């Protein structure tokens, strides 16, 4: 190790800057700085040398060129253990720089603003900062690089403990963190440029030629899907305010990996509806869901979809939870793992956090106002790589229903069919959803999820619905390959059917409905969810 004799500080975020610089100066470290950082240090009464004075070359091009100079990068990259490097540095008057403290232009924050101009975003692409970070990180055997305000205290503590030196262990940790930061920064720029370019691009160019993924770990989770698996939560730089990864957890136990998976399914379903809506998710599938004039009625109807499965489930609402909804949930015999909603009324929060079994257990997740479904890039890992696709943001309306039978569905049946179709899109394939609708809203009465055979999915949905299958509307996420599933549903009381169509046996399936006087509509859109 060698003592820190010279440090270069150039930061956009000035948090903790003066305290760090004062700690370095107290140890006799020479301070170099640029622009606003230099002014902040001078204003604090610290002795600091401007980089332009150090290099003998002025800042130019509106500050675009200031640290891109051999006296900066030579001071960072020169190996102190090689005589030829030391000789070259001495020959050209290059002084070693032992510590670099840089945080980058706030590009991510800039592009997150609504309506940001392209020119403004481009000006927030940092060039000198990443260059210094990479130079220092490459030469971490001799140079310490700090990109995170949280590490300022660690560095000062090490200088105190090691008589002005930073240990090799910490330098390695800081170098890793530095390369992770520049990688994430470049990923954010690449993603923004792609998103900017793909607006109006043809469908064949909706996914980038090179897909760069980055995320910041915000917490480690207790375990993954099972106790022997490790897990963590990461937030991507482009997270929206109503995204689950950016949500506020207001109370209850720590969220688990499985909680997050179920909550994401619940959130995606809740985005589908404008009217008051509640859904009950179990093992990544909806076992209950409903719309109603108010949230309390919606959760009452949703819970009735499958009261047995609803115990220990995850819930999502598209309105702030009110006290009536909270009182329904805490009634005897009901318990859930987590609740996600745009907000919680103070009185509802009091009910959910003070009642026995609820307060210390149930996770309350505040999402902010929910946006409508939006097209996103979804990624799934496979061995040796990953798959990417755009999200299923298609939402059918009455105009998309094509009646293919002699009997047309009633207005109430059409409402129930469309409601069931939105649910089927979020149920694991093969998916069958039975629903009922009335003047107050709609509700799920039976779900068959994730079956290898579609007729088995129908059988399970019918069993779940019981007597409520009578007069219900059925939605299938994909076509019926044979009439058997349709015939089973009609025999059990289903009164209207929706499917995408597209089977070579469509005519036989339609004929089966016509023989029984049951309307069937085609949407032309499949909604597999594997």
Annotated catalytic sites, by residue?
138, 283
The alpha carbon of 12 is separated from its chain's Cα centroid by a whole number of angstroms, namely 26
CB 177 within 8 A of CB 148: yes
3-class SS of residue 378? strand
- Tokens (6 digits) for 329: 């949930």
φ and ψ at residue 240, rounded to 5 degrees: -85, 160
Please report where in the chains the tokens 């509509």 appear, as a residue. 521
Residue 183, CA atoms < 13 Å, CB-side half-sphere: 13
CB 424 within 8 A of CB 400: no
Residue 157 to residue 134: CA distance in whole angstroms: 24
Residue 449 to residue 287: CA distance in whole angstroms: 9
Residue 174 to residue 183: CA distance in whole angstroms: 14
What contacts 241, CB < 8 A, 6 or more positions away? 368
CB 520 within 8 A of CB 513: yes
State how beta strands 277-282 and 248-251 pair: unpaired
- CA terminus-to-terminus distance, the chain: 54
Residue 30 to residue 76: CA distance in whole angstroms: 15
Residue 475 to residue 465: CA distance in whole angstroms: 14
Residue 497 to residue 518: CA distance in whole angstroms: 8
CB 327 within 8 A of CB 357: no
């Amino acid at each position: 190790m060698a003592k820190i004799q010279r440090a270069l500080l150039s930061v956009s975020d000035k948090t903790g800057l003066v305290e760090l610089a004062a700690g370095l100066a107290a140890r006799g470290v020479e301070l170099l700085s640029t622009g606003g950082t230099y002014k902040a240090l001078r204003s604090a009464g610290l002795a600091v040398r401007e980089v332009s004075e150090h290099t003998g070359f002025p800042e130019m091009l509106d500050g675009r060129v200031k640290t891109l100079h051999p006296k900066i990068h030579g001071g960072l990259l020169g190996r102190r253990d090689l005589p030829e490097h030391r000789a070259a540095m001495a020959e050209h008057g290059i002084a070693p720089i032992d510590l670099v403290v840089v945080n980058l232009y706030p590009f991510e924050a800039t592009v997150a603003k609504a309506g940001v101009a392209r020119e403004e975003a481009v000006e927030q692409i940092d060039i000198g900062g990443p260059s210094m970070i990479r130079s220092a990180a490459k030469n971490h055997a001799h140079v310490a690089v700090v990109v995170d305000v949280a590490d300022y205290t660690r560095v000062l503590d090490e200088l105190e403990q090691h008589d002005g030196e930073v240990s090799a262990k910490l330098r390695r940790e800081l170098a890793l963190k530095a390369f992770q930061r520049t990688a994430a920064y470049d990923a954010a720029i690449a993603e923004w440029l792609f998103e900017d370019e793909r607006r109006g691009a043809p469908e064949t160019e909706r996914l980038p030629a090179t897909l760069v993924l980055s995320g910041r770990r915000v917490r480690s989770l207790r375990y993954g899907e099972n106790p022997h698996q490790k897990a963590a939560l990461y937030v991507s730089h482009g997270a929206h305010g109503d995204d689950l990864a950016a949500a506020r957890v207001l109370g209850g136990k720590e969220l688990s990996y499985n909680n997050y998976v179920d909550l994401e399914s619940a959130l995606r379903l809740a985005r589908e509806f404008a009217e008051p809506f509640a859904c009950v998710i179990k093992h990544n599938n909806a076992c209950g869901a409903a719309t109603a004039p108010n949230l309390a009625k919606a959760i009452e109807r949703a819970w009735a979809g499958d009261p047995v499965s609803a115990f220990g489930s995850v819930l999502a609402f598209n309105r702030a939870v009110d006290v009536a909804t909270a009182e329904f949930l805490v009634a005897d015999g009901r318990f859930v793992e987590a609740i996600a909603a745009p907000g919680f009324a103070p009185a509802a929060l009091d009910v959910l956090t003070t009642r026995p079994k609820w307060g210390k257990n149930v996770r309350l997740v505040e999402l902010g106002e929910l946006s409508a479904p939006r097209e996103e890039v979804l990624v799934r890992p496979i061995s040796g790589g990953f798959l990417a696709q755009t999200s299923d943001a298609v939402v059918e309306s009455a105009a998309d229903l094509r009646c293919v039978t002699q009997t047309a569905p009633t207005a109430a049946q059409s409402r129930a069919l469309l409601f069931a179709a939105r649910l089927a899109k979020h149920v694991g394939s093969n998916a069958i959803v039975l629903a009922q609708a009335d003047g107050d809203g709609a509700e799920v009465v039976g779900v068959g999820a994730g079956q290898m055979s579609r007729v088995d999915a129908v059988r399970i949905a019918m069993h779940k619905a019981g007597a409520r299958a009578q007069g219900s509307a059925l939605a299938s996420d994909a076509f019926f390959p044979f009439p058997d599933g349709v015939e089973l549903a009609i025999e059990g009381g289903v009164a209207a059917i929706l499917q995408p169509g597209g089977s070579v046996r469509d005519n036989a399936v339609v004929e089966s409905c016509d023989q029984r006087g049951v309307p069937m509509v085609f949407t032309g859109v499949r909604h597999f969810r594997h």
